[in-house]
């Protein structure tokens, strides 16, 4: 019956379909075998150097190059995230930006490396501009739809069922244009993102804004909570509580919020109350979330990559420029965000070192991936261990480091074996079509670091 309904509506035309499309899920089939590029790994080609003693590097190849074929497409080739599930390593690619030569670089191939077969295959094609995050829940793997292609009647979540390795597109989120994060909290599925009708005033094209949604039936039906900000970017579970963070406005975003009458009622952080209710937490200001950051509260900040570990949560903040200080990526860890007991600590990184990715350590801490530019097409990448400490700031302990032509964006693995993905340098402009700066052709490369 659903298939007949979908087919009939489709014949009415795209505009009508955008108004009548029902909530639904559908199986995402892989490409035909003859259409699939089967990319085998190669030995390290020598562009990795200064690898820490006791480690061996293997180049698993550049699977993104089979889809984004020119090296100037270094931004959509960036492996934004990696996820290892049941012997398969998935990589997230694409570009959801509306600007630049590679803007809106979907649909995105969902590529994965089989550890048993030692080759890359395409598992599905996602109707998204970018795959920026994988979230594990039990034996299943989820992808929040960063920027759905097609109508905005429904937003997308994608789910891999580990039982049969199949991927499903769950198109049930009411009007979500962007889904930036998702978590499970007290048997609720919660998402953070952006909808086109966050506010009711102003020109229709400017009413989009932050939104949160929760579901008690595994994503079939949703309760949506609209906010006054631009985007809700991260969900922070800590101390048995859940907090949602919006993009922290710098001068440009503050002007936009002010012009639309939103800035006066803007509160960056909301605390989950259950049953779809959220409590504004004005005490959790930018200064509280970003301790020791110059200009906190005045410069822009985008919090992402939240990694909860039961007793604390770690995240990364992309900080806009402030005076002579260039944009940078900083790392933080919070043990409590309760009123009167806020404990947030910065991670002490070297000058010029960028925080790139967090991963939970089974020993009760985290692993932090960081990158530092050394010169043209030369970056020092480091995997460090971070544990909760009573110190004011946290000092990471280096486990392994190496030099490469590009920064490492994503991290997956454990103490014995790591996977990292090399991509376009943060805060640097995209290459122009036909122009390939030094190192650009390596964007999309996935490496394996094995302890010998």
Residue 6, pLDDT above cutoff 60: no
Residue 48, pLDDT above cutoff 60: yes
Mean pLDDT for the stretch of residues 49-63: 93
CATH of the domain spanning 27-40+75-367+386-395, picked from 2.130.10, 2.60.120, 2.40.160, 1.10.10:
2.130.10
Residue 41, pLDDT above cutoff 70: no
Residues 6+ apart with CB under 8 A from 71: 431, 436, 440, 441, 443
Q: CA angle, corner 342, sides to 337 and 345, nearest 5?
A: 100
Residue 120, pLDDT above cutoff 50: yes
pLDDT bin (cut points 50, 70, 90) of residue 311 is confident
Count Cβ neighbours within 10 Å for each residue of 406-430 and write b for 16 or more, e otherwise: bbbbbbbbeeeebbbbbbbbbeeeb
| Nearest partner of 65 among 446, 431, 444, judged by Cα | 444
Tell me how far apart the alpha carbons of residues 354 and 331 are, in angstroms, rounded to a whole number.
Answer: 9
> Quick one: what percent of the chain has pLDDT higher than 90?
77
pLDDT mean across residues, the chain:
91
Mean pLDDT for the stretch of residues 143-150: 93
- State pLDDT tens for residues 323-345: 999 999 999 999 999 999 999 99
Query: Regarding predicted confidence, which is higher, 14 or 58?
Result: 58
pLDDT bin (cut points 50, 70, 90) of residue 15 is low
Pairing of strands 232-238, 313-319: unpaired
- State pLDDT tens for residues 347-377: 999 999 999 999 998 778 999 999 999 999 9
Residue 82, pLDDT above cutoff 70: yes
Instruction: Write down the pTM of the prediction.
Output: 0.93
pLDDT bin (cut points 50, 70, 90) of residue 278 is very high
Q: Quick one: pLDDT at residue 11?
A: 54
> Which strand ranges, in their side-by-side order, compose the sheet holding 353-361?
353-361, 365-375, 378-386, 397-404
Alpha-carbon 112 to chain mean position: 17
Domain map (residue ranges) of the chain = 27-40+75-367+386-395
Q: Quick one: pLDDT at residue 4?
A: 46
CB 22 within 8 A of CB 410: no
What are the φ and ψ backbone dihedral angles of 204, each rounded to 5 degrees?
A: -55, -35
């Amino acid at each position: 019956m659903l298939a007949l309904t979908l087919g009939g509506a489709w014949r009415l035309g795209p505009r009508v379909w955008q108004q009548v499309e029902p909530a639904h899920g559908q199986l995402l089939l892989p490409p035909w075998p003859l259409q699939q590029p089967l990319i085998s790994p190669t030995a390290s080609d020598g562009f990795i150097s200064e690898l820490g003693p006791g480690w061996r590097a293997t180049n698993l190849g550049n699977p993104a190059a089979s889809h984004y074929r020119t090296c100037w497409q270094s931004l959509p080739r960036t492996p934004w995230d990696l996820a290892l599930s049941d012997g398969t390593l998935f990589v997230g690619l694409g570009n959801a930006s509306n600007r630049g030569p590679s803007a809106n670089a979907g649909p995105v191939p969902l590529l994965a490396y089989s550890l048993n077969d030692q080759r890359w295959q395409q598992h599905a094609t996602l109707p998204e501009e970018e795959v920026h995050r994988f979230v594990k829940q039990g034996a299943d793997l989820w992808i929040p739809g960063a920027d759905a292609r097609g109508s905005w009647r429904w937003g997308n979540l994608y789910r891999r069922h580990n039982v049969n390795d199949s991927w499903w597109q769950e198109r049930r989120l009411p009007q979500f244009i962007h889904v930036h994060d998702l978590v499970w909290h007290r048997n609720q599925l919660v998402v953070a993102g952006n909808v086109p009708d966050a506010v009711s005033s102003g020109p229709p094209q400017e009413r989009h804004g932050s939104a949160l949604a929760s579901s008690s039936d595994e994503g079939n039906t949703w309760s949506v909570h609209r906010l006054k900000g631009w985007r809700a970017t991260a969900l922070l579970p800590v101390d048995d509580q859940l907090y949602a963070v919006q993009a922290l406005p710098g001068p440009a975003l503050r002007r936009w919020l002010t012009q639309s009458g939103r800035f006066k009622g803007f509160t960056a952080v909301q605390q989950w109350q259950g049953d779809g209710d959220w409590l504004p937490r004005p005490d959790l200001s930018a200064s509280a979330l970003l301790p020791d950051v110059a200009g906190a509260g005045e410069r822009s900040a985008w919090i992402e990559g939240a990694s909860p570990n039961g007793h604390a949560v770690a995240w990364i903040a992309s900080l806009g420029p402030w005076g002579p200080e260039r944009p940078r990526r900083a790392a933080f860890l919070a043990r409590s965000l309760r009123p009167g007991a806020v404990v947030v600590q910065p991670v002490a990184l070297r000058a010029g070192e960028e925080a790139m990715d967090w991963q939970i350590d089974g020993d009760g801490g985290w692993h932090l991936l960081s990158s530092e530019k050394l010169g043209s097409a030369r970056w020092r990448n480091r995997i460090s261990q971070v544990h909760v400490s009573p110190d004011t700031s946290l000092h990471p302990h280096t486990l392994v480091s190496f030099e490469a032509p590009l920064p490492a964006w994503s991290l997956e693995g454990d103490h014995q074996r790591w996977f990292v993905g090399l991509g376009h340098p943060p805060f640097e402009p995209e290459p122009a079509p036909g122009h390939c700066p030094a190192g650009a052709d390596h964007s999309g490369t996935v490496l394996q670091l094995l302890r010998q």
